[in-house]
Amino acid sequence: MLTRPHPVLIGFACLVFFFLLAPLVIIIGASVSDTSFLTFPPQGLTLHWYENIFEVSAFKRTMVTSFILAVTGTSLSLIVGIPAAYALNRYRVQLPSFLSTVFVLPILVPEIVLGFSLMKTVTTAMGFPIFVSLVIGHALLVLPYCVRVVSAALSSFDFSIEEAAVSLGCPRWKAFFIIVLPNVRAGVIAAFILALITSINDVSISLFLTGPGISTLPIQLLAHMEQFFDPTIASVSVLLMLVTVGVMAVVELTLGLTFLTK
């Protein structure tokens, strides 16, 4: 039987959880306040600030950009990341060990440094269009998540099943799609979701890569906050939280959230 922690410790933990949630509740409260400035507790009750999200064209536009960018970047990252993760597990003995660290590099280099460097090289020197640079930056940002999460799923996959298919005459590429991929489906979904969220929330990379006419939602939010202090920011934040809730529901249904502590 587990020994119960000291009551003081339990009280402390309750306080911590209160502080984790309170700021988010405050944002929700501020988003329905019938005032032209941010305040809590809300005075009056209105959904005007939610309508305002869709009236401010910059929010509408950047929301679409952020979403397309996240899906494109994540998909690209998975397209190069899944084969890499597969090879790192399947041909582990034949590949030099430094290769697995290559895909951790985007973590070792601070995001803001990567964003700045990409702006200098890819946008300015090579003259890539802004959206292409953003896609490259976001794909790189999420590559470590993709490779590691898919790798983790593959590490418990029994490759002899694949060998069996191949020895029975199934072509190698077909064996990969009908045997390997369905078996690590959960890992691929998890990688996709984690990457999507990371990309949508990213500030440090987009900071340097957004340009005239093209911005992402977090960058637009930062810019808006520096000029205005109205509850629209709060309502956009609540909308983003709803997206998070949706994502968490998907994770819970497919993998179980305890997956995230592993």
Contacting other proteins within 171-210 (CB under 8 A): 172, 197, 200-201, 203-204, 207-208
Contact between residue 61 and residue 236 where contact means Cβ atoms under 8 Å apart: no
**Residue 61 Cα to chain centre, angstroms:** 20
- Local structure of 104: helix, strand or coil: coil
Scan residues 211-240 and list those touching other proteins (CB under 8 A).
Answer: 218, 221-222, 225, 233-234, 237, 240
Scan residues 243-262 and list those touching other proteins (CB under 8 A).
Answer: 244-245, 247-248, 252, 257-258, 260-262
Residue 242: other Cβ atoms inside 10 A: 10
From the list 70, 139, 191, 214, which residue makes contact with other proteins (rule: CB under 8 A)? 139
Contact between residue 226 and residue 69 where contact means Cβ atoms under 8 Å apart: no
Contact between residue 141 and residue 111 where contact means Cβ atoms under 8 Å apart: yes
Contact between 83 and other proteins by CB under 8 A: the answer reads yes
DSSP state of 170: -
Scan residues 152-171 and list those touching other proteins (CB under 8 A).
Answer: none
Of 52, 103, 97, the closest CA to residue 77 belongs to: 103
What is the maximum span of the chain, computed from C-alpha positions, in angstroms? 71
With contacts defined by CB under 8 A, name the span among 42-50, 77-85, 150-158, 180-188 that binds other proteins: 77-85
Scan residues 10-29 and list those touching other proteins (CB under 8 A).
Answer: 10, 12-13, 16-17, 19-21, 23-24, 26-27
Scan residues 100-129 and list those touching other proteins (CB under 8 A).
Answer: 102-103, 105-106, 108-114, 116-122
